[in-house]
Amino acid sequence: MTHSISWFEIPTIDLARAQKFYETILGLELIPMDMPGIQMRMFPVPDHTFISGALTYAPDFYEPQANGTLVYLNANPDVQHVLDRVEAAGGKIIVPKTEISPEIGFMAVIHDTEGNRVAFHSVPAG
Residues in the chain: 126
User: What local confidence, expressed as pLDDT, does residue 68 receive?
Assistant: 86
- Domains of the chain, start order: 7-122 (3.10.180.10)
Sheet holding 52-57, edge to edge: 7-11, 52-57, 39-42, 31-32
Whether the pLDDT of residue 4 is over 80: the answer is no
Average predicted confidence (pLDDT) for the chain:
92
User: Is pLDDT above 80 for 3?
Assistant: no
Tell whether omega for the bond before 59 is within 30 degrees of 0, i.e. cis: no
pLDDT of residue 30: 97
Give the tens place of pLDDT for each residue, 93-126.
999 999 999 999 999 999 999 999 999 999 987 6
Between 15-26 and 79-86, two packed helices, what is the crossing angle to 10 degrees? Answer: 140
pTM above 0.85, yes or no: yes
- Residue 74's nearest CA partner among 26, 5, 12 is 26
Q: How far apart are alpha carbons 112 and 102 in whole angstroms?
A: 27
- Residue 2 confidence (pLDDT): 64
User: What integer is the mean pLDDT of 29-57?
Assistant: 90
- CA-CA distance, 53 to 73, in Å (whole number)? 10
